[in-house]
A and B are shown apart, each in its own frame.
Chain A
Amino acid sequence: MTSAIATLRPFAVNLEPEVAAANEPATRSPAAGPVATLDARAAEVVAAKAVAIAERARLRRGRARAIVLALLPPLLGFALFISAWGLFSQTTGSLPSPAKTWTSAVDLFSHPFYQKGPNDQGIGWNILSSLRRGGIGFGFAALVGLPLGFVFGRFAFANAMASPIISLLRPVSPLAWLPIGLMAFKAANPAAIWVIFISSIWPMIINTAVGVQRVPQDYLNVARVLNLSEWKIMTRILFPAVLPYTLTGVRLSLGVAWLVIVAAEMLTGGVGIGFWVWDEWNNLNVEHIIVAIFVVGIVGLLLEQLLLLLARRFNYD
């Protein structure tokens, strides 16, 4: 019961006095025992039980109310968003209406994996190949970025050498790297992967380096007293201590990778959600573009949630 109250508190503060009042007769009844007759006491017990049941029902109702209260604002937000969109599409006529977009989304997702030649494939294939491209670029970035972050965090000299270069390159717009990739690889697909690599590497380097620098002195003192080998210090102390920071870096990097991929694919072509958006623009199929925007958003959200879940697993407090 107390836990139920505790969970309710953030949502519905006004419930509390109600519950406390309901509690009182139940706790006070035994004190009245000695003077009352047996019958009266029995009646009292029955009454107390009724109060308890009523209270439980009230709590249950309270919990339902809390859930409704929690869901209400986002649902209202969506409803407003969609009505604004509908209104806008009706008045201007250039934007497809929500209903039309929905039907075309249902249509698209009923055959996600069809294949009619290289330029006409189902949306499922497009999503998958974008994910694959992003995964390769991001994977290379992790492979290079995490060890670099470790080195920069552990050795002040290397850090001092690298940090001006990092500060200079990090704010460069991702697509500015595309010509370099095209020049180096002479092909569109590796160039797109290169763009994802170079723009998603920075958060991993920086967060890992900061994590290494922030390993508590206490843990390092333990390592020093035990005189642990470099290997043991790495595996038993540095790596676990830095992991939460690294995971934050990985999450930010993955966000960037997914952000960049649509833009890169628009320019390089092939199969992928970005290319698909461009293709649908050439076909003037605006419903599909809107569907693609939602798909990109939802996939990004899922990736982020996945990593947040992973990060929670490695939170030691």
Chain B
Amino acid sequence: MEKRPVDKFLRIEAVAMTFQTRNGSFAALRDIDLTVKKGEFVTLIGHSGCGKSTLLNLVAGLLKPTEGLLICAEREIAGPGPERAVVFQNHSLLPWLSCFDNVHLAVERVFGATEKKADLKRRTQAALALVGLMHAEHKMPHEISGGMKQRVGIARALSMQPRVLLLDEPFGALDALTRAHLQDELLKIVAATGSTVVMVTHDVDEAVLLSDRIVMLTNGPAATIGEVLTVELPRPRDRIELEEDARYHHHRAAVLEFLYRRQMRQAA
């Protein structure tokens, strides 16, 4: 459908973000330029507080940049919308709705106009099944663990079949086993749907395992893109086979080098 080539699906052009706070203005991001291809998986990595969530919220349209322009599918990002689904860093489930209803709210919004009630219900259950939570559909958010809440948040985003999936440390609160399982699921879902993904993470292994490109941010304030690493590992990727792959370790080392040598975090 796009007239322009698909390799400029999401464009971030000369973006800067300055927050007006009580103690004056705070420059969080400057000179951000990034282009994401359709179907590409990009992770943002950097130390805590450098501005990863800010950049993701700019793409989501939840924040407006103080300078520059963001474009998605040839249209300026003027505000948030269901075609750019967000998994929030703190899950953001509505505590008065059951897990089912939390997901259903999103499904209803996106497909309610065109599909029958039974189909909406089926979609909701399918999304919950995808994250392994069919058994908890009638539970309220306060009755489930932190990891389960995060999975409901992921189910809610996936259920909308967004063009761009924005994930803010979606696996941060999970134990290692669940995290590995959901990473694999995410890889499968993305391969099947061809979604474009922008994901924030702290975790170097996760970044290398999942991404086509890793965008490394410098430390704030006024953070910017320090380096972009293209991950040249064939897909589908298998976490156990990757352990044997020299390129995997090479990429890991490159990211670690950036984070812990070049962007050593100053003791606060």
User: What is the interface of chain A, defined by CB distance below 8 A to chain B?
Assistant: 218-219, 221-222, 224-228, 232, 236-237, 240-241, 316-317
Contacts and interface: CB of A to CB of B under 8 A. Distances in A.
Query: Which residue of A222, A232, A237 has the most chain B CB atoms within 10 A of its CB atom?
Result: A222
A224 B92 CA distance: 12
B135 to A, nearest CB: 22
B92 A218 contact: yes
A226 B103 CA distance: 11
22 contacts: A218-B88, A218-B90, A219-B92, A221-B88, A222-B92, A224-B61, A224-B62, A225-B62, A225-B82, A226-B82, A226-B105, A226-B109, A232-B105, A232-B109, A236-B97, A237-B94, A240-B94, A240-B96, A241-B96, A316-B96, A316-B142, A317-B95
A236 B108 CA distance: 13
Contacts of B194: none
Q: 5 tightest A-B contacts by CB?
A: A316-B95, A240-B96, A218-B92, A224-B80, A225-B80
Contacts of B160: 226
B85 interface: yes
Contacts of A221: 62, 80, 86, 88, 92
Contact of B60 (A218, A225, A228, A232): A225
Contacts of B62: 221, 224-225
A178 to B, nearest CB: 41
A222 B94 contact: yes
Given A221-B62, A236-B97, A240-B96, A227 B80 contact: yes
Interface in B59-86: 60-62, 79-82, 84-86
A241 B96 CA distance: 8
Interface residues of chain A: helix, strand, loop or mixed (majority): helix
B106 interface: yes
Interface residues of B, number: 24
A165 B105 CA distance: 39
A218 B53 CA distance: 13
Nearest to B89: A218
Contact of B142 (A222, A227, A237, A317): A317
A224 B90 CA distance: 16
Given A221-B62, A221-B88, A228 B109 contact: yes
A219 B81 contact: no
A232 B142 CA distance: 22
A241 B85 CA distance: 22
Contacts of B61: 224
B109 A236 contact: no
A235 to B, nearest CB: 11
Contacts of B79: 224
A218 to B, nearest CB: 4
Nearest to B162: A225
Contacts of B81: 225, 227
